[in-house]
């Protein structure tokens, strides 16, 4: 327990107890973070890729969406989520534009962008009139808030693994044929990416039943409770926040920093900017957004004087309201 009186923060015992319950939480090894919201987008800036909106593109998009949904991830439609802030009919977009759109979608907040590229080509066989097909699909995942690369995978299949084009195949025939061949390749990419994300953001473990795991004859001793600041196993995707402190003296800043470390789900933090009465932290945690906000509000209540807290996206600002000084 911190010595609040040292910094002029005398509070009732009930309030201090509430702080301990909210900040440290019950003794448990699993920390519940939020599962990521996904936006699956096509990177078609390269003119050799299949453009957005084509039949082949739409079938690959549907396959990737299905694979993510099957593992329980929430996938949001790019057109529906972003039509109020950008033209949904744009094609040949760079990855910078796609990530920028994901960052600025207000509701729902997007956590991970899953980008994919489709390369398809037809070449005539050197020894016959057979038209051979090649398809390559590449996908990668980027965390929107941290710009962290979460994984990538690609599958390329050549003529020996794909059916050649039928004889006298017109444009509609080509689009349907390539789409038929690209869809299972997309599923291969989607399954691998979904499993990679599942490792980074595991779901809640199922409780064992008496049929699968009978109770031991002698009850084992319970595991020790994790120390403050030790997260144990996280459920969900870890993320990062910016926490800014304004108007606090060094002693108060030190107390706040120690409290941030003690929060449930804490992983890592780093000061990125520091002035006389202003400090900005990069704060990584596997705690969910709502829990972190509650913890900060209870922490602010323990501070002396008048204070305010503001939240904007993944940025928290805690500021001490200046009062009239006495000489």
Domain ranges of the chain: 4-32+228-320, 37-200
Architecture of domain 4-32+228-320: 2-Layer Sandwich (3.30)
Confidence at residue 21, expressed as pLDDT on a 0 to 100 scale: 45
- Whether residue 207 is preceded by a cis peptide bond, meaning omega within 30 degrees of 0, is no
Please write the tens of the pLDDT for every residue from 125-153.
999 999 999 999 999 999 999 999 999 99
Confidence at residue 326, expressed as pLDDT on a 0 to 100 scale: 63
**Residue ranges of the chain whose pLDDT lies below 50:** 1-18, 21-22, 24, 26-28, 206-231
Confidence at residue 235, expressed as pLDDT on a 0 to 100 scale: 76
Confidence at residue 79, expressed as pLDDT on a 0 to 100 scale: 94
Written out in words, the top-level CATH class of the domain with range 37-200 is alpha beta
Residue 29: CB atoms within 10 A of its CB come to 13
In CATH terms, are 4-32+228-320 and 37-200 the same topology? no
Confidence at residue 114, expressed as pLDDT on a 0 to 100 scale: 98
Distance, CA of 41 to CA of 23 (rounded, Å): 38
Confidence at residue 253, expressed as pLDDT on a 0 to 100 scale: 94
Confidence at residue 206, expressed as pLDDT on a 0 to 100 scale: 47
Determine how β-strand 266-275 pairs with β-strand 239-246.
unpaired
């Amino acid at each position: 327990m911190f010595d609040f009186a040292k910094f002029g923060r005398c509070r009732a015992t009930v309030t201090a107890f509430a702080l301990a319950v909210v900040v440290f939480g019950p003794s448990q090894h699993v920390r519940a973070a939020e599962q990521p919201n996904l936006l699956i987008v096509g990177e078609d800036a390269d003119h050799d890729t299949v453009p957005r909106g084509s039949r082949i593109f739409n079938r690959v998009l549907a396959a990737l969406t299905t694979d993510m949904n099957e593992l329980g991830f929430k996938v949001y439609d790019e057109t529906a989520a972003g039509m109020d802030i950008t033209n949904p009919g744009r094609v040949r977009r760079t990855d910078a534009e796609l990530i920028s759109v994901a960052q600025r979608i207000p509701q729902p907040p997007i956590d991970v962008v899953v980008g994919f590229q489709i390369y398809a080509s037809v070449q005539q066989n050197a020894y016959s009139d057979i038209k051979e097909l090649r398809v390559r699909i590449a996908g990668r995942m980027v965390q929107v808030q941290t710009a962290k690369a979460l994984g990538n995978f690609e599958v390329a299949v050549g003529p020996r693994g794909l059916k050649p084009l039928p004889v006298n195949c017109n444009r509609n025939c080509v689009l349907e044929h390539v789409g038929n061949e690209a869809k299972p390749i997309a599923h291969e990419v989607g399954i691998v990416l979904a499993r990679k994300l599942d490792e980074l953001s595991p779901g809640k473990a199922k409780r064992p039943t008496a049929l699968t795991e009978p109770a031991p004859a002698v009850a084992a001793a319970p595991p020790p409770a994790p120390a403050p600041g030790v997260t144990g196993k996280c459920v969900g995707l870890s993320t990062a926040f910016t926490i800014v402190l304004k108007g606090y003296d060094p002693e108060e800043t030190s107390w706040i920093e120690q409290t941030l470390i003690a929060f449930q789900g804490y992983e890592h933090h780093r000061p990125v900017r520091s002035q006389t009465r202003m400090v900005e932290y990069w704060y990584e945690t596997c705690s969910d957004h709502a829990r972190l906000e509650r913890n900060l509000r209870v922490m602010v209540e323990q501070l002396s004087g008048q204070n305010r807290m503001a939240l904007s996206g993944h940025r928290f600002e805690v500021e001490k309201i200046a009062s009239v000084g006495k000489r």
